[in-house]
A and B are shown apart, each in its own frame.
Chain A
Amino acid sequence: MKIEEQPLEDQVYELIVRASTDLPADVVNALHAAQQQESEDSPAKNVFSMLLKNVELARQNKTPICQDTGTNIYHIYYPAGVSTLQLKRVIQAATVRATENSILRPNVVDSVTGKNTGNNLGRENPFLQFEEWEQDHLRIELLLKGGGCENVSTQYKLPDSELEAGRDLNGVYKTVVDAVYNAQGLGCAPGILGVGVGGDRATSHLTAKKQLFRKLDDTNPDNKLAELESRLYTDLNSLGIGPMGFGGKTTVLGVKIGSAHRIPASYFVSIAYMCWAYRRHSLTIQNGEVKYD
């Protein structure tokens, strides 16, 4: 597969525009369903009406759904022979252009000097994860993850005596309930939870974040994890935290759990909390045909 930089830069630019200004269909459907469930005239119902109005307006105006255009997280699946350096160059160029056009906020700050780079490029930003695969096409997935929800994301080390959580899926369950209780409305609830079980500290977080690229209505191929996802979804929505932490029936829109192998000494559970403005889209290029999802 040969990559031509110019059309690809335009396509990645379009991917960023879609991610920042339009929510995927499964998320919009979930927000509508949540609005239906809340009681008439409740603050929660009002919040959902405003959210949906904002989503519609952002799509029409092609302006950001949220001003915090977040950490830009890319997962790139590429066939043999593609240069990842070239892909990196293309993504960086599209990022700079999206920043110039107010699609992305200048959001990258040098942690030592405190200076904003002004163009969204910096060390580890945008964050790119490359994976060569056996398929013949290129797939670029993008998630814009804001700071409010990243700040309530967390990691546990099991066993945990305070939670009475052991090294099993019931222990995992307890950590997730605790994390969502601690987050309250601060992560811009209703949240979508990516949970990573196992790994080391770094791969545990990566596993959690990777779950956020799944669709809300998919089914986990692992039966035990599928069961835990559904149990958590029901129970978390009984906490009464509600959208923005105003109280209500909808505290989470989805729970997605993945696992990584661990070494015997460690058992980490990582929780990647994603805000309701769940900005994820993908770009697939196959035989010259370009598809966005």
Chain B
Amino acid sequence: MIELQLPVSEEEIRKLRVGDEVGINGTMITARDAAHKYLIEESPDFIRSYLENSLIYHCGPVVKQSAGKWSFVAAGPTTSIREEPYEATVIQNYQVRGVIGKGGMGEKTLSALKEYGAVYLHAIGGLATLLAESVQEVKDVFMLDEFGVPEAMWVIEVKNFPAVVTMDSHQKSLHSKIKADSREAAQRLIHPVM
């Protein structure tokens, strides 16, 4: 297990390789569908300091509020590929060092990881209670009224947040490999040689 402390430098991120298991510590921010569209279309400046040399977590949490303080109740990753049209530009414009999500992303994002020095980290889908426990504190929230709870941008402090590198800054993707291997197997089943 590699400890990944945020904020993180480009140099540190480029050391990570597909298959590396990491435990993430520090401050990161959630952003999913509405937030990605917003980051591209409105280019908000106030958010820059939260993104620079940090990570974006594709997550729409279940939260609760007591005595004015928010906390995360359930917070697993959501499907990342929906952000494929936006992510490369977000990484470029905001110097984000990586994204955490599930399911992997496409060629455009993979190229951006290489060009700008970032990684794709895969968290386990459906691990909501366990991952919420690694969220030590909700530090702030943006666009809550506009986007609603799942889509708001939550600034969180995490400790030992577990994830696996499945796309690195060296043009490697576990997802492309599994897809290619399973394609052969699927073709043999669909078009058997008589």
Contacts and interface: CB of A to CB of B under 8 A. Distances in A.
Interface string B167-179: 0000000110011
Contacts of A286: none
Contacts of A157: none
Given A105-B60, A186-B79, A186-B103, A66 B125 contact: yes
Contacts of B132: 63, 67
A43 B74 contact: no
Interface string A141-172: 00000111001000000000001110000000
Interface string A268-289: 0000000111000000000000
A240 interface: yes
B192 to A, nearest CB: 10
Nearest to A69: B62
Contact of B102 (A181, A238, A244, A276): A244
A174 interface: yes
A47 B74 CA distance: 18
Contact of A245 (B59, B73, B175, B186): B175
B54 interface: no
Contact of A67 (B75, B148, B162): B75
Given A241-B182, A246-B164, A66 B128 contact: yes
Contacts of A58: 74, 128-129
Interface in A164-215: 164-165, 174, 177-178, 180-181, 184-186, 188
A67 B60 contact: yes
Interface stretch (A3-11, A48-56, A218-226): A48-56
Classify chain A's interface size. Answer: 35 or more
A102 B124 contact: no
B193 interface: no
A89 B61 CA distance: 27
A57 B133 contact: yes
A116 B127 contact: no
A186 to B, nearest CB: 4
B130 interface: yes
A106 interface: yes
Interface string B154-173: 00000000101010000000
A136 interface: no
Given A109-B148, A181-B183, A240-B181, A50 B62 contact: no
B35 interface: no
In terms of DSSP, what is the predominant structure of the interface of chain B?
mixed
| A66, A67, A239, A276 pick with most chain B CB within 10 angstroms | A67
Given A151-B79, A184-B178, A105 B62 contact: yes
Given A105-B62, A244-B122, A177 B128 contact: no
A247 B62 contact: no
Interface in A245-261: 245-247
A277 B185 contact: no
A164 B191 contact: yes
A94 to B, nearest CB: 17
A63 B74 contact: yes
A2 interface: no
A115 interface: yes
12 contacts: A54-B128, A65-B128, A67-B73, A67-B150, A116-B148, A181-B186, A185-B103, A185-B175, A239-B186, A245-B175, A246-B174, A247-B181
Given A186-B102, A239-B185, 18 more contacts: A50-B124, A51-B127, A54-B128, A58-B129, A64-B62, A65-B129, A66-B74, A67-B75, A68-B60, A68-B76, A102-B63, A109-B148, A148-B79, A177-B189, A185-B125, A186-B79, A238-B189, A276-B126
Interface of A: 43, 47, 50-51, 53-54, 57-58, 61, 63-69, 102, 104-107, 109, 114-116, 118, 146-148, 151, 163-165, 174, 177-178, 180-181, 184-186, 188, 235, 238-242, 244-247, 275-277
